[in-house]
């Protein structure tokens, strides 16, 4: 393989490495998650600092290193500068980036996840209700990653669900009252209304998010429910979920 390559990516995180350098974590379009050294980017007036700003979509020229590859140059394709000046939207972007950093695999392309992240960051930057974007993101990310729960019938007996059902995290779906009877463990009750909302958000075209109207209390309860469900599936805590308290 040649000594250089180029990637299209969204910057998930950029942290200082030693005195002058930075270490950027990216979700690339074609190579999955990638960590790159950016030499000199921590110095004032570094040109490379501009292409490693969190949440921007960038194209980077990369050199191959022995342990880590590094950024040689690049350009910003879409700057989400507005995002960085809006505290609520910024908090949500951190939460999305953290979830993506758990779902993305190094060296394994996941274009649907990449496009979902890009779409949601743009929606936040365009002023779509933050609560709606995060709930939409978690629901779609769970679909893209293959653990979207079964909500249209009982996941255990395939029977019809009543108004009240129980979303059992371990079963990966809703249980009817009969099946939920002897089930203990992680989960929460889920009404027919909430199941319908999840189904709608699983299908809605992102371009319609700006006009999408939904009751904020219902979105808030969905956020808690789906964040807990996601953490169960990931087997880890989403640290930046405390940013979500700002959405009250
Ligand atoms: Zn059942």
Contacts of 116 (CB under 8 A, 6+ apart): 137, 140, 141, 144
CA distance 89 to 19: 30
Q: How far is the CA of 237 from the centre of ligand 1 (A)?
A: 29
Measured in Å, residue 174 CA sits from the centre of ligand 1 at: 8
Burial class (CB in 10 A: 0-12, 13-18, 19+), 215: exposed
Q: Report the separation in Å between the CA atom of 195 and the middle of ligand 1, taken as the mean of its atom positions.
A: 16
The DSSP 8-state label assigned to residue 160 in this structure reads P
DSSP 156: T
CA contacts within 13 A on the Cβ side of 110 = 25
DSSP-assigned letters across all residues of 134-178: HHHHHHHHHHHTT-PPB-SS-TTT-PPP-SEEEEETTTTEEE-HH
* 161 Cα to the center of ligand 1, angstroms: 8
CA 91 to CA 122: how far, in whole Å? 14
223 alpha carbon – ligand 1 mean position (Å) = 25
16 CB-near residues (< 8 Å, 6+ apart): 22, 23, 42
| Dihedral pair phi/psi, residue 175, rounded to 5° | -115, 140
Q: How many C-beta atoms lie closer than 10 Å to residue 11's C-beta?
A: 22
* Ligand 1 centroid – CA 196 distance (Å): 18
Q: What are phi and psi of 126, to 5 degrees?
A: -85, 0
Q: What share of the chain is helix, strand, coil (3-state, %, to 5)?
A: 45, 25, 30
pLDDT at position 81, please?
82
Give the Å distance between the CA of 142 and the centre of ligand 1. 23
CA 176 – ligand 1 centroid, Å: 4
| pLDDT at residue number 243 | 85
CA 214 to chain centre: 21
- The domains located in the chain, with CATH, are 4-79 (2.40.50.140), 85-148+183-247 (1.20.1440)
Predicted confidence at residue 183, as pLDDT, reads: 78
pTM for this entry: 0.93
Beta strand 164-168 with 173-175 is antiparallel
Instruction: For the chain, 248 residues long, give each residue's pLDDT as a single digit of tens.
Output: 568 999 999 999 999 999 999 999 999 999 999 999 999 998 888 889 889 899 999 999 999 999 999 999 999 999 988 888 899 999 999 999 999 999 999 989 999 999 999 999 999 999 999 999 999 999 999 999 999 999 999 999 999 999 999 999 999 999 999 999 877 779 999 999 999 999 999 999 998 988 899 999 999 999 999 999 999 999 999 999 988 887 76
């Amino acid at each position: 393989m040649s000594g250089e390559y180029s990637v299209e990516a969204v910057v998930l995180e950029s942290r200082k490495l030693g005195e002058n350098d930075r270490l950027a974590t990216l979700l690339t379009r074609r190579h999955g998650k990638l960590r790159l050294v950016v030499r000199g980017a921590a110095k004032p007036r570094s040109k490379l600092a501009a292409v490693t700003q969190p949440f921007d979509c960038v194209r980077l020229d990369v050199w191959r290193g022995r342990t880590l590859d590094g950024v040689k140059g690049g350009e910003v394709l879409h700057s989400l500068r507005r995002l960085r000046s809006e505290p609520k939207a910024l908090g949500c972007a951190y939460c999305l980036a953290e979830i993506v950093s758990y779902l993305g695999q190094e060296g394994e392309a996941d274009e649907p996840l990449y496009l979902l992240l890009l779409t949601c960051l743009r929606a936040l930057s365009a002023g779509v209700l933050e609560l709606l974007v995060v709930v939409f993101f978690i629901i779609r990310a769970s679909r893209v990653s293959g653990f979207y729960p079964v909500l249209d019938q009982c996941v255990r007996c395939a029977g019809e669900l009543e108004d009240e059902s129980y979303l059992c995290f371990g079963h990966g779906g809703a249980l009817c009252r009969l099946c939920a009877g002897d089930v203990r463990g992680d989960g929460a009750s889920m009404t027919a209304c909430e199941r319908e909302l999840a189904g709608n958000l699983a299908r809605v075209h992102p371009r319609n998010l700006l006009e999408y109207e939904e009751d904020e209390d219902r979105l808030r309860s969905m956020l808690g429910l789906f964040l807990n469900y996601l953490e169960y599936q990931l087997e880890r805590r989403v640290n930046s979920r405390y940013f979500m308290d700002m959405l009250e």
